[in-house]
């Protein structure tokens, strides 16, 4: 790697540059397309918001809020925070624009960067990219299944198959408080260290996520939410599973799943890829009954997901697959001389207007350099033009894979090139 700048990107923050950036775009767009196919409308929301929105929405007891937020005072001395996740901001916007007063459910989709001050490692960045959806205002198990099926379809469309969907129910107001007490009773009987005890007081579920072997052992017999669901929460969960079976989405029930955000209720899920080591979550989400009311809106339930674009790229790599079209352009122009450059510049613009991706050899560096550039571009064809061709109103169309070249009419080059490309597809 050559380094010519005295600055580097901030620690843990990835750049996306060619050729890898083509993979990034392909992954992001494929996941977005899966959401679009189910009628989710695009939202583009602020990268930073009032700090209180995340503190209240995501939960003060989460690592995301207590340890990982990029929070600063702006020049007007307001506390603002780079968004660590998307759901709270979407909820704020839905309330602010009264979208929940129209037809329900409100179905929204977003893609972009989020920021968490985590310890950087493979697959864990401080600026991470997500594609997310939120479906708000309808507490229908069929909608839970739709959201999960979209994520699954997005991953499948990329060609991924080495992942599994884990799912559970975190219960609701009618059973969670009692379960919480039950779990605390169990935990307080254990010889917990001070920090774990504090966690058990604040958010006992999180203790079940403790990865230390001695804690795993101690909590192996802990009561599980799934065994203590209220009748309505249980019916909801069973119906979600029934829909997933019917659609053909494969899942495993993981009753010990603990998510990093506090707003989840009922259906909660994670997509886990085995080829990624410690940072194996390629996406996750769930239902959130209380979030909207907590942010000052109507008491409407919602469900959504956030899919990690970065980790999905790593998952593809782990499976030896690619989502990107390796070709930058379809056609590469090779002008031999000044008059040819003038003609090819115009022809390139016309071809682009006709939907063909075109690049040219610039700088008059001669045929050898230009042909090398053509090969590197990944183009299917080179358009080779010299003075004699111009005189004869012709241009050479060279198949870069086979080396075959034929002459086509210069006047009709747009039509002939489009036809040749269509023929290859």
Which residues of the chain form contacts with ligand HAM (CB under 6 A)? 85-87, 116, 118, 123-125, 128, 130, 132, 134, 260-261, 281-286, 304-306, 308, 310-311
Residue 397's SS3 state is strand
**Comparison of 171 and 260: residue with beta carbon closer to ligand HAM:** 260
Q: How far is the CB of 323 from ligand HAM (least distance, A)?
A: 16
Q: What is the DSSP letter of 285?
A: E
- For 385-411, letters b (16+ CB in 10 Å) and e give bbeebbeeebbbbbebeeeeeeebebe
| C-alpha to C-alpha distances, 339 to 108, 123, 159, 386, nearest whole angstrom | 52, 51, 46, 8
**Comparison of 130 and 219: residue with beta carbon closer to ligand HAM:** 130
**Comparison of 12 and 223: residue with beta carbon closer to ligand HAM:** 12
Q: How far is the CB of 210 from ligand HAM (least distance, A)?
A: 18
Q: How far is the CB of 413 from ligand HAM (least distance, A)?
A: 46
Residue 138 CB coordination number (10 Å): 16
- Give me the residue label for tokens 């560096």: 365
Q: How far is the CB of 127 from ligand HAM (least distance, A)?
A: 8
End-to-end CA distance of the chain: 37
**Comparison of 63 and 210: residue with beta carbon closer to ligand HAM:** 63
Residue 98: partners with Cβ closer than 8 Å, 6 or more residues away: none
**Comparison of 136 and 329: residue with beta carbon closer to ligand HAM:** 136
d(CA 243, CA 133): 19
**Comparison of 49 and 359: residue with beta carbon closer to ligand HAM:** 49
d(CA 359, CA 375): 12
d(CA 117, CA 65): 10
**Comparison of 311 and 343: residue with beta carbon closer to ligand HAM:** 311
**Comparison of 125 and 332: residue with beta carbon closer to ligand HAM:** 125
Q: How far is the CB of 156 from ligand HAM (least distance, A)?
A: 17
Q: Which residue lies nearest ligand HAM, judged by its C-beta?
A: 308
Q: How many degrees, rounded to 5, is the angle at CA 381 between CA 377 and CA 383? A: 100
Q: How far is the CB of 43 from ligand HAM (least distance, A)?
A: 12
d(CA 354, CA 297): 48
Q: How far is the CB of 261 from ligand HAM (least distance, A)?
A: 6
| C-alpha to C-alpha distances, 422 to 28, 35, 87, 415, nearest whole angstrom | 26, 29, 42, 10
384 is written with which tokens?
A: 């080779």
Are 370 and 361 spatial neighbours (Cβ–Cβ below 8 Å)?
Answer: yes
**Comparison of 154 and 283: residue with beta carbon closer to ligand HAM:** 283
Q: How far is the CB of 64 from ligand HAM (least distance, A)?
A: 7
Q: How far is the CB of 387 from ligand HAM (least distance, A)?
A: 55
**Comparison of 260 and 378: residue with beta carbon closer to ligand HAM:** 260
361: nearest Cα among 378, 380, 384: 384
**Comparison of 85 and 152: residue with beta carbon closer to ligand HAM:** 85
Q: How far is the CB of 203 from ligand HAM (least distance, A)?
A: 15
Q: How far is the CB of 402 from ligand HAM (least distance, A)?
A: 42
Are 187 and 207 spatial neighbours (Cβ–Cβ below 8 Å)?
Answer: yes
For the sheet containing 79-82, what is the strand order? 48-50, 79-82, 71-73
Tell how strand 48-50 and strand 79-82 pair up: antiparallel
């Amino acid at each position: 790697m050559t380094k010519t700048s005295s600055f580097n990107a901030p620690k843990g923050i990835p750049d996306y540059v060619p050729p890898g950036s083509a993979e990034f775009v392909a992954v992001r767009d494929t996941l977005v397309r899966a959401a679009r196919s189910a009628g989710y409308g695009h939202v583009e929301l602020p990268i930073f918001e009032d700090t209180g929105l995340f503190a209240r929405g995501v939960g003060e007891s989460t690592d995301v809020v207590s340890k990982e937020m990029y929070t600063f005072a702006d020049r007007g001395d307001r506390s603002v925070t780079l968004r660590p996740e998307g759901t709270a901001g979407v909820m704020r916007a839905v309330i602010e624009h009264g979208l929940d007063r129209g037809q329900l459910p409100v179905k929204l989709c977003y893609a972009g960067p989020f920021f968490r001050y985590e310890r950087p490692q493979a697959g864990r960045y401080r600026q991470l990219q997500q594609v997310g959806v939120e479906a708000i205002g309808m507490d229908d198990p069929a909608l839970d299944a739709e959201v999960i099926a979209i994520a699954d379809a997005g991953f499948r469309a990329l060609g991924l198959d080495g992942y599994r969907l884990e799912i559970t129910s975190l219960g609701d107001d009618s059973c969670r408080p009692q379960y919480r007490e039950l779990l605390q009773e169990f935990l307080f009987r254990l010889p917990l260290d001070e920090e774990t005890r504090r966690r058990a007081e604040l958010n006992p579920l999180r203790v079940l996520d403790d990865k230390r072997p001695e804690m795993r052992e101690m909590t192996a017999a802990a009561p599980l939410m799934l065994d203590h669901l209220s009748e309505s929460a249980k019916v909801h969960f069973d119906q979600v599973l029934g829909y997933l079976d019917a659609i053909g989405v494969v899942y495993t029930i993981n009753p010990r799943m603990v998510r990093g955000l506090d707003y989840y209720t009922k259906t909660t899920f994670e997509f886990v890829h085995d080829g990624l080591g410690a940072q194996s979550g390629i996406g996750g989400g769930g239902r959130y009954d209380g979030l909207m009311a907590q942010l000052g809106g109507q008491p409407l339930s919602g469900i959504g997901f956030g899919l990690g674009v970065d980790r999905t790229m790593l998952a593809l790599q782990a499976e030896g697959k690619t989502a990107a079209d390796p070709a930058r352009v379809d056609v590469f122009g090779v002008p031999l001389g000044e008059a040819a450059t003038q003609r090819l510049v115009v022809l390139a613009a016309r071809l682009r207007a006709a939907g063909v991706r075109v690049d040219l050899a610039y700088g008059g560096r001669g045929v050898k350099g230009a042909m090398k550039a053509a090969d590197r571009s990944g183009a299917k064809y080179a358009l080779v033009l010299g003075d004699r061709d111009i005189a004869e109103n012709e241009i050479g169309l060279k198949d870069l894979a086979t080396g075959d070249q034929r002459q086509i009419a210069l006047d009709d080059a747009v039509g002939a090139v489009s036809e040749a490309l269509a023929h290859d597809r």
